[in-house]
Structure formats: C-alpha cells, structure tokens
Amino acid sequence: MSWFELQAYEFAGRLLVPWSPLIQEIEMLSKKILEYKKLAGGNEEQIIQAVSRLVCKKFGVSADVIARRIKSEKIKL
C-alpha cells in the first residue's frame, strides 16, 4: 500500500471506530476472549481475528478495520 492509502485507512479507522468505545466493546467480551485464548493456544492473530468478527457489527465496519485498530493501538487482548 502507498503512504496515502495507509493514512486514509488510519483516519477512517479512527473516525469510525473511536478508541474509547472500542475498548468498552472489547472489555465486554473479556470472558469470550479468555475462551478464544484457550482454543487458539495463545495465537494472537487468531484471537484478534475472532474478536474483530464480533466487534465489527457494533461499528458497522469490516472485521479487517477492527483488527487494524486493535493492532495500531496495541490493545492487549
């Protein structure tokens, strides 16, 4: 991706998925995240993908957008 595309994705992600509501949604899934960790054997990418699929519906964006936000904000699951 070009620098401009990366900046556009970052801007859109922050606009559509604000940090505080994202954290709240992730915190509400804490029990599910623990289950995912056991199933995924600690594979962080799989856990991020699973959580992203659940959270994306709340924000009306794709799971990829949520995964990028989790990674860019370095949110620990």
Per-residue pLDDT of the chain (77 residues; tens, 9 = 90+): 799 988 888 888 899 999 999 999 999 999 999 999 999 888 999 999 999 999 999 999 999 999 999 999 999 99
The domain tally of the chain equals 1
| Domain extent for 59 | 3-72
pLDDT score for 54:
95
Task: Judge whether 9 lies within some domain.
Answer: yes
Neighbour-count burial of 42, counting CB atoms closer than 10 A to its CB (0-12 exposed, 13-18 middle, 19+ buried): exposed
Cα distances (Å, whole numbers) of residue 77 to 1, 11, 23, 45: 27, 23, 10, 10
pLDDT score for 9:
84
pLDDT score for 8:
87
Is the whole-model pTM more than 0.85?
A: yes
pLDDT score for 13:
87
Task: Judge whether 56 lies within some domain.
Answer: yes
Task: Judge whether 17 lies within some domain.
Answer: yes
Task: Judge whether 77 lies within some domain.
Answer: no
